[in-house]
Structure 1
């Protein structure tokens, strides 16, 4: 039984190659907001009431270990190549660090004993 490989995720970190914090401080929300309309046409992210509200599942802002990031799913490349180029060129033009990784689901909080 073979399964299709899961699309990769790329983390655009709010740290330049020179090691400086990227500004403005809300850059990750702005970038993800600009790509919010790119989403699957079906499922929980598809059409329907409220489908236009929120970030695209292909491009979401996160804070990881105190660093603002945008996580870009490689599936965006097939869905909308120009959007993929836009976000990756943004990272390159601003000399932001980009790493390939996998976002792990958050573990539920353990109840206090």
Structure 2
């Protein structure tokens, strides 16, 4: 989901992605907790910048793992009129091989 509304306006506040991902930080794979798990974003809901636009990437696996959490994120986008784009993100290339 991108921080732009359907009419092209930037969504506010400017830290909306980090706030949303902070709320979702408890949703993580079993066994990936640890003592500082509460200080990390969930691997299923992560803030990022896409083409200069603050965005949130939501892994489709969240729908199966925790349907209510997935619907919360989807409804957040709908309620705030945010643009949603389905995409397939590729892992970053190994920097040592370049």
**TM-score, L = length of structure 2:** 0.90
Query: Which residue is 2:70 aligned to?
Result: 84
Question: 1:68 aligns to what SS in structure 2?
Answer: strand
Q: Which runs of 5+ in 1 are unaligned?
A: 1-11
Size of the aligned set, in residue pairs, is: 97
Runs of 4+ aligned structure 1 residues displaced above 3 Å come to none
Query: Which residue is 2:48 aligned to?
Result: 62
Q: Higher helix fraction: Structure 1 or Structure 2?
A: 2
Q: Which has the larger radius of gyration?
A: 1
Q: Which runs of 5+ in 2 are unaligned?
A: none
Q: Map of 1:1-113 to 2, 5 A cutoff?
A: 12-42=1-31, 46-107=32-93, 108=95
Q: Higher strand fraction: Structure 1 or Structure 2?
A: 1
Quote the RMSD (CA, aligned, Å): 1.7
Work out the CA distance in 1 between the residues paired with 2:61 and 2:97. 33
